[in-house]
Amino acid sequence: MGDTSKKEKSESLHPVYTVTNIQNKVHILDWTKVTYSSWVKLFHLHAQGYMVLHHIDGTKPPAKTDPTYESWNKIDAIVLQWIYGTLSDELLVRVLETESTAYEAWTRLKNIFTNNKGARTTTLEHEFIKLSLKSMPSFEAYCQKLKELADQLADVDSLVSEKHLVLQMVRGLPNEYETTAALINQALTCWEEAINMIQSDQQRQAAREVLNSPVSEMAATISHDQQPSRR
């Protein structure tokens, strides 16, 4: 009886039991906003922190006759819940199985993203190259979409370098950004700096539009007419 009490206490002290909602730590994998590579990195980080990385890295589990198997099985079920609980409905349907270990589910999910790499790469590259600022509601949305596509390409082992990302961002800009785009290309600017340069250009263009608007011209005319005449 003493051994049983000691065993239960040992299980309850495992860090995995302190996690009440894994979605507060690992965001839902949904193909778009959260990419597979980002999800894996975040899941790995928390699995390591909560001492359950061996449940998803291929480490051989204890035999069913091993005294530690019962504890391992309970913890593995929790890790499996973590995986299922951080997948979109579409992915969950494809990964969910009645009898499964966490590592088996992990492998099924990996296969979804690694199979048919060629076709997926072609589709993503086409979307990446064709994307333009005019097709997006804002410059910020345009940059976010480019970054998401670059991350998705990385998931299929087609890495987009920062230089390529910047060049593609500039390529999709309309003619009114031609001067700033040329400066970015000449200086081989980094991603964040390129974004700041375009945003500054947008602010200058907006300020010019205000100054050149009919309302501004009318205000200037009224102000001039109201000035006292000199005798």
- Answer left, alpha or beta for residue 87, where phi above 0 means left and psi between -120 and 50 means alpha: beta
At 224, which amino acid appears?
H
CB burial of 13-43 (b: ≥16 within 10 Å; e: otherwise) equals: eeebeebeebeeebeebeeeebbbebbbebb
pLDDT at res. 40 = 94
Comparing C-alpha atoms, which of 138, 142, 183, 137 is closest to residue 165? 142
Comparison of pLDDT for 182 and 120, the residue scoring more: 182
pLDDT at res. 209 = 81
Distance of CA 221 to the CA centre of its chain: 52
pLDDT at res. 12 = 57
pLDDT at res. 73 = 97
Indicate if the pLDDT at residue 146 is higher than 70.
yes
pLDDT at res. 216 = 46
**DSSP track, 12-56:** HTSGGGG-S-GGGTSPPB-SSSS-HHHHHHHHHHHHHHTT-GGGT
Indicate if the pLDDT at residue 45 is higher than 80.
yes
Q: Lowest mean pLDDT: which of 53-62, 73-82, 153-162?
A: 153-162
Indicate if the pLDDT at residue 14 is higher than 80.
yes
Q: Lowest mean pLDDT: which of 15-19, 63-67, 85-89?
A: 15-19
- Answer left, alpha or beta for residue 58, where phi above 0 means left and psi between -120 and 50 means alpha: left
pLDDT confidence bin for 94, thresholds 50/70/90: very high
Please compute the mean of the pLDDT values over residues 125-131 and round it to a whole number: 97
Indicate if the pLDDT at residue 185 is higher than 50.
yes
Indicate if the pLDDT at residue 43 is higher than 60.
yes
In percent, the amount of the chain with pLDDT more than 70 equals 87
